[in-house]
Amino acid sequence: MKEKIIETLSATEGYISGEELSEIFGVSRTAIWKHINALKEEGYEIESQTRKGYKLLKRPDALLKAEILFQLKTQRWGKEYLYTYDEVDSTNVIAKKLANEGKPEGTAVVAEFQRAGKGRLGRKWVSPKGSGIWLSLILRPPMLPTNAPQLSFVIAVGMVRALKNTTGLDIKTKWPNDILIDRKKVAGILTEISAEMERINYIVVGIGVNVNQRVEDFPIEFRDKSISLRLANQGQNLFRVKILQGILEEMERVYNNYLEEGFEPILEEWKNNSITIGEEVQVIMGEERFNGVAIDIDKDGSLLVKKDNGEVERIIAGDVSLRKKGGQYA
């Protein structure tokens, strides 16, 4: 009901009376009044005037269901099944539960705060309240499990497009699934798969975007390698809902193109935005550690690294750090 009331207020120039709203939705004026008060508590600025009614003055920068759905231009993603939370342990955990219950592709889970957000290799992802985008999506791609790693590139291409379009900033990719600004991490992607030998049951894609964090919002140990869109935007806050909508729209578009046209054009676009290729890198794979130069990404999405001894190593999975000016890797 609240979502429908906000849609109606948004589409109305000037005021709309409580009586009109009660007739539209078939409820009492008291019920409308209660919903209006609930919306005000969520951060909507709604003016109330006797004999005139209600007028929407300002929308909040909050990841509320009504806000996300308002003017969202996806076909399915985040539209048919959208779950929003103020606080969760992890959006990926909720998405996996929903996937196991049979929720369809395009189901989205969004939270304002994660108590136990996680990144690749079991690392912690710091998810402060009200400053970022913490999103998980359910995908059910018609492909073999061996092709699942390609989806990290698909999602990354969609995110780069969306962040460039909504912010105008110079966004880059780093193998395998980091999104960078000025060589610092602004967003990350975590994919978790449930599959059988020849069939994918589902893939949950977890996405974290640092949007409006200040320097002091990052733990000290992350400050030299993390950045937010706000920090890259001369300290100006950005509207998170618009960025989230752009991410959903572009990722869905790129994903559909991938299913129709294959991986090659996706990989080419990823390479064009990559900061990895041509860089000196350090690779850690389990107990093995070596340095080299990243020379290419092969057709399966593996990183090709030319080691110091001239041997070319194909990296399917591992931790890859770029060499900084001082000679250190990060």
Mean pLDDT of 273-294: 88
The answer to whether the beta carbons of residues 180 and 294 sit under 8 Å apart is: no
The answer to whether the beta carbons of residues 161 and 168 sit under 8 Å apart is: no
**Rounded to whole angstroms, how far apart are CA atoms 115 and 313?**
38
Among the ranges given (55-59, 95-99, 285-289), the one the predictor scored with the smallest mean pLDDT: 285-289
The reported pLDDT for the residue numbered 123 is 57
The reported pLDDT for the residue numbered 328 is 59
**Rounded to whole angstroms, how far apart are CA atoms 312 and 126?**
35
Indicate the angle between helix axes 150-167 and 240-261, nearest 10 degrees.
140
Which residues, in sequence order, are CB contacts of 162 under 8 Å at separation 6+? 243, 246, 247, 249, 250, 251
Is 154 a residue whose pLDDT tops 70?
yes
- Domains of the chain, CATH where assigned: 2-58 (1.10.10.10), 65-272 (3.30.930.10), 280-322 (2.30.30.100)
Is 180 a residue whose pLDDT tops 60?
yes
Mean pLDDT of 312-325: 81
230-263 pLDDT per residue, tens: 999 999 999 999 999 999 999 999 999 999 999 9
**Rounded to whole angstroms, how far apart are CA atoms 237 and 220?**
22
Mean pLDDT score of the chain, rounded to an integer?
90
Residue 78: alpha-carbon gap to chain centroid = 12
191-237 pLDDT per residue, tens: 999 999 889 999 999 999 999 999 988 888 888 889 999 999 999 99
Q: What residue has token string 């020379």? A: 295
The amino acid that residue 57 corresponds to is L
Give the HSE-up count for residue 218: Cα atoms under 13 Å, Cβ half-sphere: 21
Instruction: Tell whether omega for the bond before 176 is within 30 degrees of 0, i.e. cis.
Output: yes
Query: 46: pLDDT confidence band, cut at 50, 70 and 90?
Result: very high
The reported pLDDT for the residue numbered 233 is 94
55-90 pLDDT per residue, tens: 999 888 889 998 999 889 999 999 989 999 999 999
117-148 pLDDT per residue, tens: 665 545 566 667 789 999 999 999 999 999 99
- DSSP SS3 for 6: helix
Is 325 a residue whose pLDDT tops 80?
no
**Rounded to whole angstroms, how far apart are CA atoms 155 and 204?**
12
Alpha helix positions (H), the chain: 2-10, 18-25, 29-41, 65-69, 91-100, 150-167, 229-232, 240-261, 264-272
Is 323 a residue whose pLDDT tops 70?
yes
**Rounded to whole angstroms, how far apart are CA atoms 318 and 307?**
15
Taking the alpha carbons of 75, 81, 86, 92 in that order, is the dihedral positive or negative?
negative
Query: 269: pLDDT confidence band, cut at 50, 70 and 90?
Result: very high
The reported pLDDT for the residue numbered 119 is 54
User: What is the pTM assigned to this prediction?
Assistant: 0.86
The reported pLDDT for the residue numbered 104 is 97
- Lookup: tokens for 322: 């770029």
Among the ranges given (21-30, 213-222, 318-327), the one the predictor scored with the smallest mean pLDDT: 318-327
The reported pLDDT for the residue numbered 164 is 97
The reported pLDDT for the residue numbered 88 is 92
